Structure formats: structure tokens, C-alpha cells
A and B are shown apart, each in its own frame.
Chain A
Amino acid sequence: MNYRLTHLQVLESEAIHVIREVVAECERPALLFSGGKDSEVLLHLAAKACWPQTIPFPIVHVDTGHNFDEVLAFRDRRVAQLGVRLIVASVQESIDRGEIAEDPTPGASRNRLQTHSLLRAIAANRFDAVFGGGRRDEEKARAKERVFSVRDEFGQWDPRAQRPELWNLYNTRHRPGEHFRVFPLSNWTELDVWQYVGREHLELPSIYFAHEREVFRRDGMLLAVGPYSGPRDDASDERPFVATVRYRTVGDMTCTAAVESGATTVEEVIAETAVTRISERGATRADDRFSVAAMEDRKREGYF
């Protein structure tokens, strides 16, 4: 026996350590669950970290109202399987209450509006630690994020005032009103996530695998035809057509694009991911195309 672990075993152990640290030291944790692959891996790790107990904290879904049906069905199935409590933070309800206003542009994304509903849920439930599935390889602003990231009362992230994070000694002290965003998958890459999905035989929403879908092209990306996303009536170049696609990320229908792919199994997705030349966010997230600092700006406001 050479007493060595594979990279996936090390990443898993590190994530379990982080989750247990929160469970042991924080009073009111919660886990953000979008139904996407990263949050499913996170949920699976939380179940492992808490075993043989059921996960002792709720999961929070920030619901833009623009969901893929497959993802909602998956969310509800997982909640039932694990016996966890689900809290839905609804963007639509925030709009109905007049707290936030929708961007009137046809086909506009509600992505940025999610921040409000999330912060409201955190305040209402007095969560002091919120797990997220964010990874440092996703985006350059995320590359500078801590595993335990302090947010002030307004949910804001100040990249220049971050606490140093040393060894695996996480500083969980905070003042009332502040909370932590905790990222157990910080050191995972997209490929690690897929390899882990394969190793652990995790189920994912079906839209992650190749399927036929009616799509249209906008800004070079393939968006699903649907009541929220479009195509726009006034855009003659947004012609719908049927293509074989899969999703690399799962978010709001209006800003999450599909990629053309024939990969129907985890193994085929891993093979594609290993050789892809386009980043996950670049291929599929309209929200990060506004500017080079789009993610940094959203994070500063309290986005996950």
C-alpha cells in the first residue's frame, strides 16, 4: 500500500472537511441548490459529510421563474430522496411585491435579479453560512475568492478586504448580520466535477446530455425556444431550428445556452470536456459577456 490518494479523493476529502467545519461551527447554515451539476455534487458531498445523519440544514433554490422543467423535477426528486427541507426564494414574488423591477427588454434575463431574492432569504432565515457550488476555475474574479468568504449586511463582497486563508484553518468568526458564502468546490474544475459525477454515479437533469431541442441563435449562442427566452418577434435573424444539444451549465433559461453535442453518457461528456476549446461560461452564459468584469461586479453586489 502506498498511502496515496487520487486527485478526486483529495478534493472530496477537502470538501467534506469544509462542510463539517461549517456544521460544527456555524449556527444556521443552508445550501444553495440550482439543480445544476455543481450543486448536485455539493449536495452529494453534504450528504456524505453528515452521514449517517440526514443533512441537518435546508437547501435554498433561488427560483427565477424561468426554469427548465427537467431541472425542477430533478430538484423535487432529490429533496424527497434526501429528506431535506427546501426553501424557494422566488424572484417572481420579489417582483410582485414591488421590491425589484423586471428589465423591460424582451427576452431579458432575470439573472441579476436573483441577488435580491437570495439576500432576502438569507436575512429572513438568519442564515450565517450559505454553501455555494462556485468553482475558482469558472471565472477570473472567482479565482480570487476564499473558501469561506465574508459578506457584510448588504451581502457585498469586497475583493480587496478578504481575510487571508491559511492551511485548512478556516476563520468562522463573524459579526451579527454578516454571513459566509462557503465554497467547498473551490478547487474543482469542470472536468473534476464530471469525473466525480461518473465515479459516484450521480444522476443529473437530463438536459446535461444530448437531446433534440428547438433552439435559435443569439449572439452566437444556442438558446432554447421558450416563452421567456424567445426568439424575439422583432429579430429576423433568430430563426428557430431543431438541433442535438446538451447543456454545460444550468441556470435561468434566458441566459443559459446549449452546446451542440452528441454526448449521451457521462463518459462521453468527460471525453468532450477534456478536449473542448471553449470555457464553460464563455460557451453558455450570456450574463458574463457584458464585460470582462461582469462576474466581479455581480459578486460585489452579493451574487453567488
Chain B
Amino acid sequence: MELLRIATAGSVDDGKSTLIGRLLYDSKSVYDDDLAAIERASNLRGDDYVDLALLTDGLRAEREQGITIDVAYRYFATPRRKFIVADTPGHVQHTRNMVTGCSTADLVLILVDARHGITEQTRRHASIASLLHIGHMVICVNKMDLVGYEERRYDEIRAEFEGFASLLEIADVTFIPVSALHGDNVVERSSEMPWYEGASLLHHLEKVHVAGDRDLEDLRLPVQWVVRPRSAEWNDFRGYAGTLAAGILAPGDEVTVLPGGLMTRVVAIDSADGPIKEAFPPMSVIVRLADDLDIARGDMICGGGTNPTVSQEISAMVCWMDRSPLRAGTRLHVKHTSRWTRGIVDRIEYRLDVNSLGRVPGVAGLDLNDIGRVDLRVAAPLFFDEYRRNRATGSLILVDEATNRTVGAGMILGVAA
């Protein structure tokens, strides 16, 4: 069974939590006692129907305020796939939650209220998904019941979004008209919308092809941990543990080790379950090499068609996640693959207007939930690929030197000009 990671986004009242609740409920992933608990809670609040949103809104403050505060992870499975849903809140101030949820997603699900059509929030969510380079997008036009299940309204919304989507870098955009409240086109095709000939949402999620999204050409293995057992049995063992970020690796392969740039050969790929003939992402393995090189955590074993770029001057699209703004001169800890270094912000080239994808130059800084292009200088060279080519070797996090909080998410564009 394959795993599909989904991020969801929508405005506060688009019915996103209801849709997820519906997917869980109709795929029989909600337990009776959970359902009974939300039935009681719904009755107490005087709702006319059971509010499936209560299935996902777990924190006390969320239930009290009727909003979703933080990314919530939900799980369900069908006989074909296991799904992980990162449910992200839709408010303006929670761009950082959406970025977080999207960072690991294969597919993003965006809800649009059929009565209101494409809003600023829809555009923002789609832009963020595009920046995070999610390969697949599903636009659920929800609340079709409130527009009489009209095909014309659905077509209008679709045409409007397609105009905007031409600016985005998303390979696969699918539209589905649904009513989360009544379950139309969520699990089963709806009889209310015979004009819609596509798959139901769940059926689409089960069959969408994501395995091809990975880079199997270039080899990238960030060294996570040097394995040197201090035992008689394994005295001569020296292995390099890590999670394959890209490429296919086999014993006998010629590889380059960065930062030294020395070439060597893979002797064996090991795991607790025995030797591995071929390793590929996202397998966690231990590699043994022919030559006794000086290799440490943070180094990278590379091969395949191209080597990563090596530089201390990095240009990245940064989503800022802290209350105190990012400015030129801000010093930070930087984590990229398994490597920590220090960095300083050289300049902020522009802020991105995520509603239009337009550039706003000449800004003094990036505030909480802003996204912008930033030039960083780092203390030790990073070995990276462009983020859109490889998420694992093209992403970095920025950490505040004083508080240790994660304050920024960076998607590498290349070497700073």
C-alpha cells in the first residue's frame, strides 16, 4: 500500500474541516465513540446537524472559538492507499502553518466556496502551494448545494482559477465540484451533478500518480551519522548513515564526497535487515565506501548526472515565521540537510505579494507570514540543488540565535548574484 501526503487549505468558512470530517467518516475512519462525542458537543452548541469539523479541531481554544489554530494531522486509509492529511488553518496570519503543512505534501487540496468563488485567500493558498513546489493540486468547489448544483457556476469558478493558475508552477490541477456537508462527490459520485464526469474526490486521491515526482537521476545522500561501533565484532566497520534525498544507489557505484570532492566507490549498502542491492528515496541506509576518507555529519555523498552547487552565497525564497521581523544584517542559525551553519542576511531583494505573485521591491524587512527573496551569506559552504529540482537538498530552516525558535523556511533559488 502506498502513502499519499495531503495538505488542505481553505478560508475559515469554506467547510474544510467538514470535508475532512466527511472523508474520514465516509471512509469509515471515524470511530463511533469519537462521533458520539462530537454529536454531544454539536447538540450542546445547538447546531442543526453534527459538525464534522469538531473531529479535527482538538484544542480547547479551537473548540471554544470555532477555529483551527495549528496544523492538525489526520490519518485514514482505503484498501488502495494510506493518507496523511495536514489540515492547515486558513486565516491570513497563518501562512506559516500552510507552508509547514505543504512542506511534506505530495498533493494540496484547496477549498473554494461556490457562492463566493475565487478569493484572495484561494490565490494565496495556491501561490504558497506553488512556491512549495507541490506537484498536484485539487480545487474542490464546495457548497455546490447552495448554488443549486449548477454547472454554470462551477464553470465560471474553474475559468477564473485557470486564468490565475497559468502564473503557477503546478503540473497537475484537478477541479471537483462537491458538497462536503451532504457528501456529494466526496466518496461517491453525486447524482445531483450528472454533468460532472470526473472522479469523486476520494477516488482521485486513490489513483493520482505521485511516484514520478521524485528525482531518481542525481544521487544525493546527506551524511546523517557516522557509524563506528566500538565492539570487537564490528571493529573495522565504518559506515555513513543517511536518508536518500535523490537518486538510486548501488554497490559498485562511483561517488563524490562533498565538501572534499574526493571520488570513491560504494562497497556495500547496509541495514539492520541485511545488505541492500539498490537504495532509493526515502530509504534510510548505511553506506560503506572503498577509501578511508575523512567524512563527517553534514557532508554529502553525490553522484549521477550532476553534482550539487557548492556556495556560501545563497539566494532563497523565505517564508518568515516570527513576530520580530527579518532585516538585512539579521544573524541566524541555518540548517540545511544534516548540516548546521551560521548565516547573515545580506539583503532582501523583494517581498512577494502572494495574492498576485507580484514583486514588491525596496522593503525594509519581512514581517511574520511574509514571503520574500533573500540573499544569505553562510559560514560554511552548503551543497544544494534548486528547490524546485529537489525539495530535500533545496530547503533550509532559519533558527533564531537567541530563542532557538524556528523563524524561517527557505527554498533555495541558487547562488546569490
Binding site for B on A (CB under 8 A): 1-7, 9-14, 16-17, 20-21, 23-24, 47-49, 51-54, 136-137, 139-141, 143-144, 159-160, 162-169, 171, 173-175, 186-187, 189, 191-192, 276-279, 282-283, 292-293, 296
Contact = CB atoms under 8 A, between A and B. Distances in A.
A283 B34 CA distance: 11
A20 B71 CA distance: 25
B234 A144 contact: no
B61 A278 contact: no
8 tightest Cβ-Cβ pairs between the two chains A and B = A140-B58, A282-B33, A51-B272, A279-B31, A48-B272, A173-B404, A16-B284, A7-B3
B335 interface: yes
Contact of A171 (B31, B336, B397): B397
Interface of B is mostly: mixed
Contacts of B391: 167
A17 B284 contact: yes
Given A168-B243, A168-B392, A143 B58 contact: yes
B406 interface: yes
B224 A3 contact: no
B310 interface: no
Contact of B72 (A14, A144, A189): A144
Contacts of A6: 1-2
Contacts of A277: 31-32
B73 A166 contact: no
A186 B395 contact: no
A2 to B, nearest CB: 7
Interface stretch (B98-106, B134-142, B147-155, B158-166): B98-106
A13 B283 contact: yes
Interface residues of B, number: 75
Contacts, number: 173
A88 B198 CA distance: 58
A303 B258 CA distance: 43
B323 to A, nearest CB: 11
Interface of B: 1-3, 31-34, 37, 41, 56-61, 63, 69-75, 77, 81-82, 84, 96-97, 99-100, 103-104, 211, 214, 216, 224-225, 227, 229-231, 233-234, 237, 241, 243, 248, 270-273, 278, 280, 282-284, 286, 297, 321, 333, 335-338, 391-392, 395-397, 399, 404-406, 409
Nearest to B404: A173
17 contacts: A13-B284, A17-B282, A17-B284, A52-B272, A53-B234, A136-B75, A144-B70, A168-B104, A169-B335, A169-B337, A169-B395, A169-B397, A186-B73, A277-B32, A282-B34, A292-B41, A292-B63
A167 B104 contact: yes
A229 to B, nearest CB: 21
A53 B82 CA distance: 33
A3 B283 CA distance: 10
A136 B63 CA distance: 18
Interface of A is mostly: loop
B283 A4 contact: no
Contacts of A165: 100, 406
A141 B61 CA distance: 11
Contact of A192 (B82, B224, B243, B278): B82
A171 B72 contact: no
Contacts of B211: 2-4
Given A143-B56, A143-B73, A166 B406 contact: yes
Nearest to A53: B229
Nearest to A137: B75
A2 B211 CA distance: 9
A192 B29 CA distance: 14
Nearest to A13: B284
A174 to B, nearest CB: 6
